[in-house]
Amino acid sequence: MSSVDYCSPLGHHAAADEGWELDVTKFSIFNYAWIFTAICVVFSSILTARLVYLHLISFNCPSQQKHVVRILLMVPIYSIDSWLSFRFYWLSVYFDLFRDCYEAIVIYEFYVLLVEYTGGYQSTKEAFQKRPPFKLVAPMCCWEVTPRRGLLRWLNRLTLQYVVIRPFMAVIATLSQALGTYCAGELTAFHAGYPWITAINLVSVTLAMYALVLFYVVAKDELQPYNVVPKFLSIKFIIMMSFWQSVCVAGLVRVNVIHNTTKWTSDNISTGVQSSLICVEMLIVAIWHLKAFNPKEYASEGDIKTKIWPTIPICFNLLDVVSDIYNSFFTINLRIIMRKDQPGLVANIELKNTSTSTTTTTTTTTTTDTDASVSPTPPFASAIVIS
């Protein structure tokens, strides 16, 4: 077989179908693996569709269940994407674009679900303010923080940054692949896009996952009735397992454990291995979700069923995510701490820029509890803290 340029999408496409046979008597291991993964995709999708249906006919808590439905849909999206990537591996980067974007949304959906479990944002903020100082989770366990409003705000931003960075990196990866500069699986090809995109995604997803863990540590008492741990583990399993699998498979290519054959390039094989593993894992996660996201938690007395069609726009309207991103990163909050001779007097000034006008809202409250991020105010001076 002639050498293939690993950074060339055309090189992948040229050898695309050499290893695939439609004649059953000439089937290779890849043909059988593709059929097996197809079975996994069908079963995982059926299980997820049934679970979503049960939630929609018991849609008695929209503020929570809309997030649950969005999380559940991650299983068919992941499995179908991986199945297509297995067969049309030279297009896998393009298939992964939608999957990566939805993956980022799912992490934030789970964060908002935790907030809803604790009674909404205002109740969560009050619960955080009641907590005594505690040490952070490893690896920053030497630091002690006071979980007040500032911590909740930063947990929100740490989660939302993944919603922004992950899709952006997916777009960059797609463009790099089209230009022949992506070099999928080449961890040491620092002239290419793959190692840099992988590193940025690793940092971003680690921060988002750390924010979820920290949220659970602070609000553990409020989350206790909702069986949160299995739900969190299913999210973590999908995202972290798929990420580290891709890195490990790329490492096996690097050390030549996975290498070129007469009909396949090492990149084609690694894509097939990664995709087939995800298809199998999604079936496991679909079964796991039956217990973790049990719709019986929302069943009403008398088992009264809700109509499905009015619930669909609620579940699939993602404008709330866009609104949260805007409010977290593009809304300027100013806290003005007044003179020291007026302790506890806080003026909150919120400036919101819109396309048509600028609205300024000022509220003044008296409280003895200030934000953890506010430093002591010098005598007869005003301090402005921008959050």
Inter-helix orientation angle 228-254/266-292, to 10°: 170
Question: 152 and 128 in contact (C-beta within 8 Å)?
Answer: yes
| pLDDT tens digits for range 326-370 | 777 766 443 433 334 444 444 343 334 433 333 444 443 444 343
Name residue, tokens 């409003």. 149
- Tell me how far apart the alpha carbons of residues 313 and 320 are, in angstroms, rounded to a whole number: 12
- Tell me how far apart the alpha carbons of residues 335 and 382 are, in angstroms, rounded to a whole number: 10
Question: 347 and 363 in contact (C-beta within 8 Å)?
Answer: yes
Inter-helix orientation angle 228-254/194-218, to 10°: 160
pLDDT, mean over the chain = 77
| pLDDT tens digits for range 171-213 | 999 999 888 888 877 777 888 888 899 999 999 999 999 999 9
Question: What's the average model confidence in pLDDT over 216-225?
Answer: 89
Name residue, tokens 């994407």. 81
Q: Looking at residue 180, what DSSP letter applies? A: T
Is the pLDDT reported for residue 227 higher than 80?
Answer: yes
Binning the chain into helix, strand and coil, the percentages to the nearest 5 are 60, 10, 30
Q: What are phi and psi of 78, to 5 degrees?
A: -65, -45
| pLDDT tens digits for range 258-284 | 877 777 777 778 888 888 899 999 999
| pLDDT tens digits for range 93-127 | 888 888 889 999 999 999 999 999 999 888 888 88
Judge residue 274's burial from the number of C-beta atoms within 10 Å of its C-beta, 0-12 exposed, 13-18 middle, 19 or more buried: buried
Question: What's the average model confidence in pLDDT over 86-91?
Answer: 83
Quote the pLDDT of residue 149. Answer: 60
Question: What's the average model confidence in pLDDT over 138-160?
Answer: 78
- Tell me how far apart the alpha carbons of residues 326 and 321 are, in angstroms, rounded to a whole number: 9
Question: 325 and 111 in contact (C-beta within 8 Å)?
Answer: no
- Of 6-10, 150-154, 294-298, the range with the lowest mean pLDDT is 6-10
Question: 231 and 68 in contact (C-beta within 8 Å)?
Answer: no
* Closest listed residue to residue 194, CA positions, set 257, 267, 258: 267
